[in-house]
């Protein structure tokens, strides 16, 4: 848009009707692009229309009721940009139609429920002295019915695997220490016992005389 300082020296206005539209996915959107010269004479213009290509598709332009007599360019330069360049024989002063612009809303690409169609700040409206007298531009706001702004999707936390518990070295060595201590205790206990006496000698068998 033109700055406020520029607006104080110029007075023509470019705007859309309707300024606000409620739509649905796959439904056509019909906008009228208008100009109001506020009493000044207009001889030519160069207008750039910006729209969000991820939300809207450009369909066509209709100029049956246009005040423009000499068209130089009226087409889509690329996705998201339409260029309109033309002249008006003998000039024009007042309010009139430049073009009818049609869009269609796309499916699956509305991150928010609104789209803006705007006039670029690089646009020009010239008087007979070839001075830019464009003072103000108004956008059209397209709202997608029943399409709330989505909330961030809930993220399911990934469970953290539990680390295996580390066994204390004392608990690992404890059975070994118990067995070793018991073995040593038994060894020294055996050392302290007196030796067992040798077994008595076997006596020879006695022979009994029979009578």
> Torsions phi, psi of 42, nearest 5?
-110, 135
Q: Which of 57-71, 87-101, 108-122, 126-140 has the weakest average pLDDT?
A: 108-122
Of 158, 150, 157, 144, nearest to 106 by C-alpha is 144
Whether the model pTM is above 0.95: no
* pLDDT, average across residues 38-50: 96
pLDDT single digits (tens) 48-63? 999 999 999 999 999 9
* C-beta atoms surrounding 176 within 10 Å: 9
CATH fold for the domain made of 4-144: Immunoglobulin-like (2.60.40)
pLDDT single digits (tens) 132-160? 999 999 999 999 876 544 444 555 556 66
The tokens for 14 are 């470019």
Tell which phi-psi region holds residue 26, choosing left (phi > 0), alpha (psi between -120 and 50) or beta. Answer: left
């Amino acid at each position: 848009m033109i700055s406020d300082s520029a607006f104080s020296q110029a007075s023509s206005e470019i705007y859309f009707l309707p300024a606000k539209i409620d739509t649905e996915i796959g439904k056509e959107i019909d906008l009228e692009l208008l100009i109001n010269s506020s009493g000044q004479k207009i001889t030519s213009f160069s207008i750039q229309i910006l729209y969000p290509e991820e939300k809207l598709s450009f369909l066509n332009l209709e100029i049956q009721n246009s005040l423009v007599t000499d068209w130089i360019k009226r087409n889509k330069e690329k996705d998201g940009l339409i260029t309109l360049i033309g002249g008006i024989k003998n000039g024009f002063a007042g309010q009139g139609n430049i073009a009818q612009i049609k869009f269609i809303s796309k499916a699956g690409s509305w991150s928010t429920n609104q789209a803006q169609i705007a006039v670029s700040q690089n646009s020009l409206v010239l008087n007979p002295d070839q001075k830019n007298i464009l003072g103000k531009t108004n956008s059209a706001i397209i709202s997608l019915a029943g399409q709330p702004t989505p909330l961030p999707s809930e993220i399911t936390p990934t469970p953290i695997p539990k680390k295996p518990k580390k066994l204390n070295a004392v608990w690992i060595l404890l059975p070994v220490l118990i067995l070793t201590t018991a073995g040593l205790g038994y060894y020294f206990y055996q050392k302290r016992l007196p030796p067992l006496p040798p077994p008595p000698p076997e006596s020879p068998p006695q022979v009994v005389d029979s009578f």
